[in-house]
Amino acid sequence: MNQDEFGFRIRQALNDGAERLDYRTVLRLEQARGKALARQRRAGPATVRLPALQLAAAGAPPVDTGRGGWGWLRGAGWMAPLVALAVAFVAISDWQNEREIERLAALDFAVLLDDGPLEAYADHVFGVLLQAERQAQ
């Protein structure tokens, strides 16, 4: 057997091992991925940029900030913060909604891949038994 062949066989074993991660780890990796995606650096004029000040006031998630075409806000006087807030709220709610859907998708994915019976998981009686096991720890 030459080196490449050997390497290839080791690789097969390693791939096997990577497929066998327990679901807690899989879930943690999904979560890590989600967190990373939330911070993806975006460039280019197509990106929406929101005034940093108003976003900070609304307690927004980290978004790229910059000037963009928002100069007109400055001329709008007392309306400016309200409009910016409204925009920020819509952005946040969309963002949060999307994050929540991803979180559930990751969780459901793990549940589907698991071998525990769905019938048990869906029953809160099973939860009672889990609680008992936990207290026995």
Partner 1 sequence: MATREELSEFLAGVERRAFKQAVFAVRDESHALDIVQDAMMKIAENYGDRPAAELPPLFTRILQNTIHDFFRRSKVRSTWVTLFSSLNPEHDPDADPLETLEATGDTRSESTETTYQREQIVAIIEEEVARLPARQREAFLLRYWEDLDTAETAAAMGCSEGSVKTHCSRATHALAKALKERGITL
Partner 2 sequence: MKTRRILLIVAAGATALAPFSRAVAQARTSAAGPAWSELSPQQREALAPLAGDWGGMPAENKRKWLDIAGKYPQLSPEGQARLHARMAEFARLTPEQKRTARENFQRAYELPRESRESAVQQYQALPDDKKKELSERSQQRKAATKAPEQKK
Cα–Cα distance for residue pair 48/46, rounded to 1 Å: 6
User: Binding residue for partner 1 (CB under 8 A) from 19, 115, 119, 133?
Assistant: 19
Q: Does 37 bind partner 2 (CB under 8 A)?
A: no
Q: Which stretch binds partner 1 (CB under 8 A): 23-31, 70-78, 79-87, 115-123?
A: 23-31
Tell me how long the chain is.
137
Alpha helix stretches (DSSP H) within 20-135: 23-38, 52-58, 71-75, 79-113, 118-121, 124-135
Q: Does 94 bind partner 1 (CB under 8 A)?
A: no
CB-nearer residue toward partner 2: 1 or 46:
46
Number of residues that bind partner 2 (CB under 8 A): 54
User: Binding residue for partner 2 (CB under 8 A) from 52, 79, 81, 99?
Assistant: 79
Are the CB atoms for 27 and 102 separated by under 8 Å? no
Q: Does 115 bind partner 1 (CB under 8 A)?
A: no
User: Binding residue for partner 2 (CB under 8 A) from 10, 35, 53, 116?
Assistant: 116
CB-nearer residue toward partner 2: 9 or 28:
28
User: In a 10 Å sphere around its CB, with 0-12 CB exposed, 13-18 middle and 19+ buried, how is residue 51 labelled?
Assistant: buried
Start-to-end C-alpha separation, the chain: 50
